[in-house]
Structure 1
């Protein structure tokens, strides 16, 4: 969307439950600032809440922006900080929720943003049944949506008793990442690529999001969840479903309904002591707050199969982990090798790669000069115009524009939990060996 294509002169009030949490400080507030930088006619009022007092919330906003990578001028920083306030409030108490919503006029648009754990979200939604909501308010639900398939469906039922689907936005910021948006745009706008967006041309797909970071003080959350709950149920499955639905008659719901995990493909591991991205990391089992007997994985890899006419027979590798060296973050499409006779020097098929950055890479086979049957590998790389908004800036825009392409469909979370449940069960029952890898390495050998 071109920022000049719409008149965004409006006042928007974001009521944020869990408004002093890590996600809000690191991602949402900088996302709002990036949005304000591009849509200069908008003013955002932040009305944040939490159980503990915050002495100076406007300063928290300023600190958040000073620590972020989002470049904004003093006008944006001052505007966001000066229109930010905080209330001590219990998100599960109807009277306190009503007080929060009544504390400031909603303006032209309003959003109630749930930056809470799934269990507290369910209680907060119960409390909303006894609250008078501002007209037209959008309920923005952060991931994870529910704690399993049943609770995800129950949460939907509770939300639909409060408002209609048009005013519910299930957030997964990976749907707004550059890798996915670049893939969807390329397939939708270029016949040369869309013609081969099927199992006849595509041999396999890899969706990888590795990180060099360790726990970063999040042991309480991470050790109780692990890499699969943190990354597969929402982010990677959502990216896969949106990607495979691109330029097809299938919806995200169709893709997820047809998805199953190959049980023989499951791999899990956790890191041992080492150095990643210049930082010395201890053995995961020795990290403060970790229960080593729990066997939490910090890396997983598995293969999904999508049983639709277009994608049947194309394995999709999904992988994510922490404390890895030279971390891969990309969607890689591996094409079938065709053309030359068998005696031709073998090269793998072409690869079209969408990194989680503003670029696209094509690895292709071309003939050696004068020896047409001798193939050599050529890498074509193009840097795209950098996005003016971060993924969370695009989340803010999608919420305010009710952008359907970026949201998580209503039935997607429950189905994603169903897909993941056999993986979680296999890990919990130690049916899959817990391998190890040194922090800073590429992972266990043979992956």
Structure 2
């Protein structure tokens, strides 16, 4: 479906890595699919190159490889896309330069979208400069994570941006909410009578949410060493996925109905007492190791990282939700860098049958399970028990697959593409509201504070493994294990 109105998409940080790898490729795919209004324009803002011609050359070099399909680019679509792209060379540290941007934007009609693909320290100065030249009217502002370093700094940014833009103008992006399986999770739960009656404490034994990366900190050592996995991944991505998995059915799919239900989950998270943090939270840091046959260095030797750094590159948490639906069900959240594989998945372990006449296999943990794979291959897989062919009643685990790329002929929409189209169309449901963000920061702060003063270093783990042994031990205390350990 094509956007129903013209737009001006202003991209701050137009030469940055995020713009090259994600934002411009997503806009190109929307253009190629005919989903952007014909007169819609993209205005890139940066100071790294001087002219539009130089910028288009930069885009040709850095964006084109990310839009190739089997090494081939649709040249006709690419040419048409570049015709949409304009460039404004300004210094973000000079508010008077924003008059140049104002004059460029004034040449086009339509909804104004300002995407801040910059560091969070520039969010407030950019917003203030936009307001000074009158560009905060009829506009939407997109803020990338991380939004602050803790609750206090997050509130400071939100307060300052909120003085310039109304809450309904602010789109705090979390790209995991735009992924196809996350959308299908809502359809699975609320569109099928089969699952919703089982989606509660009486039938669910435990739930795991994992976001694992093979990559290390790459060229982001300076940033990451002052951030860590808890801020970078748990406070936003993992808690947002948890709220989607566990929220009550909204009365509709409008933006505030969905976000109201997510907020109720975040506010129902059981507070973590500082004395219990060591029991329910594991932090680790990768040492040198081997990933798929290639030796990789320890975190402490990565460029930009302090030699004696205690920043965590791995976090595993046991979480509880204090409400009627989920009381007593353990939720295990995990994320880390330099792990054995790149995977993001949600694992719902249903309780075994209360009594089996078919043998012990029917009572074993994990016999009934739903696995929602977010990456790399987006699938939903339902595991159950079936009789093996032959003599006797021997049970084996089988699964039913929903592989999106095989079932649906049309290609899947990448997360950023969906979210950018929602911004242009004014849809807020898949973006994080301020009170959600505050609730998430408030819950993680005791862990942040305890780790900041702790004399114990993060637990070491070799690159290419699944993290510290303490992570597995935490699950073992509850009679379960991570999915890959069972397999």
Q: TM-score, normalised by structure 2?
A: 0.84
- State which of 248, 251, 266 in structure 2 corresponds to 1:256: 266
Q: Are 2:367 and 1:365 aligned?
A: no
- Paired residue for 1:401? 425
Q: TM-score, normalised by structure 1?
A: 0.91
Q: Distance in 2 between matches of 1:182 and 1:432?
A: 41
- Paired residue for 1:353? 371
SS at match of 1:75: helix
CA deviations over 1:385-421 (Å, ceiling 9, x no partner): 3753211111111111222321111212222111121
Q: Does the CA-based 8 Å contact 1:59-1:81 persist in structure 2?
A: no
- Paired residue for 1:75? 76
- Paired residue for 2:483? none
Q: Distance in 1 between matches of 2:168 and 2:100?
A: 25
Q: Does the CA-based 8 Å contact 1:179-1:330 persist in structure 2?
A: no
Q: Distance in 2 between matches of 1:16 and 1:165?
A: 20
SS at match of 2:3: coil
Quote how far apart the aligned CAs of 1:294 are: 2.1
Q: Distance in 2 between matches of 1:20 and 1:191?
A: 48
Quote how far apart the aligned CAs of 1:371 are: 4.9
- Paired residue for 2:195? 193
- Paired residue for 2:58? 60
Q: Distance in 2 between matches of 1:396 and 1:212?
A: 27
Quote how far apart the aligned CAs of 1:10 are: 4.4
Q: Are 2:83 and 1:85 aligned?
A: no
Residues 190/66 of structure 1: CA separation in 2 closer, same or farther (3 Å cut): same
Quote how far apart the aligned CAs of 1:254 are: 1.0
Q: Distance in 1 between matches of 2:313 and 2:349?
A: 26
Residues 70/307 of structure 1: CA separation in 2 closer, same or farther (3 Å cut): farther
CA deviations over 1:277-305 (Å, ceiling 9, x no partner): 45431111111221021211111111222
Q: Distance in 1 between matches of 2:148 and 2:462?
A: 33
Quote how far apart the aligned CAs of 1:23 are: 1.0
Residues 371/401 of structure 1: CA separation in 2 closer, same or farther (3 Å cut): farther
Q: Distance in 2 between matches of 1:75 and 1:277?
A: 39
Residues 226/425 of structure 1: CA separation in 2 closer, same or farther (3 Å cut): same
Residues 46/422 of structure 1: CA separation in 2 closer, same or farther (3 Å cut): same
Cα RMSD between the aligned structures?
2.4
Q: When you count strand as a share of all residues, which structure comes out higher?
A: 1
- State which of 94, 109, 120 in structure 2 corresponds to 1:107: 109
Q: Distance in 2 between matches of 1:107 and 1:392?
A: 24
Quote how far apart the aligned CAs of 1:146 are: 2.6
Q: Are 2:69 and 1:45 aligned?
A: no
Q: Return 202-211 or 361-370, whichever deviates more.
A: 361-370
SS at match of 1:119: helix
SS at match of 2:345: strand
Q: Distance in 2 between matches of 1:387 and 1:254?
A: 34
Where do 5+ consecutive residues of structure 1 fail to align? none
Aligned residue pairs: how many?
441
Q: Distance in 2 between matches of 1:204 and 1:40?
A: 40
Q: Are 2:9 and 1:14 aligned?
A: yes
Q: Does the CA-based 8 Å contact 2:215-2:338 persist in structure 1?
A: yes
Q: Distance in 2 between matches of 1:414 and 1:128?
A: 25
Residues 70/321 of structure 1: CA separation in 2 closer, same or farther (3 Å cut): farther
- Paired residue for 2:99? 98
Q: Distance in 1 between matches of 2:427 and 2:245?
A: 17
Q: Are 2:132 and 1:130 aligned?
A: yes
Matches within 5 A, 1:308-387: 308-341=323-356, 344-345=360-361, 346-349=363-366, 350-356=368-374, 357-367=377-387, 371=392, 375-384=395-404, 385=408, 387=411
Q: Distance in 2 between matches of 1:221 and 1:37?
A: 34
- State which of 227, 233, 246 in structure 2 corresponds to 1:244: 246
Quote how far apart the aligned CAs of 1:53 are: 3.2
Quote how far apart the aligned CAs of 1:261 are: 5.8
Q: Are 2:472 and 1:412 aligned?
A: no
Residues 106/279 of structure 1: CA separation in 2 closer, same or farther (3 Å cut): farther
- State which of 296, 319, 325 in structure 1 corresponds to 2:311: 296
Q: Are 2:298 and 1:283 aligned?
A: yes
Residues 391/312 of structure 1: CA separation in 2 closer, same or farther (3 Å cut): same
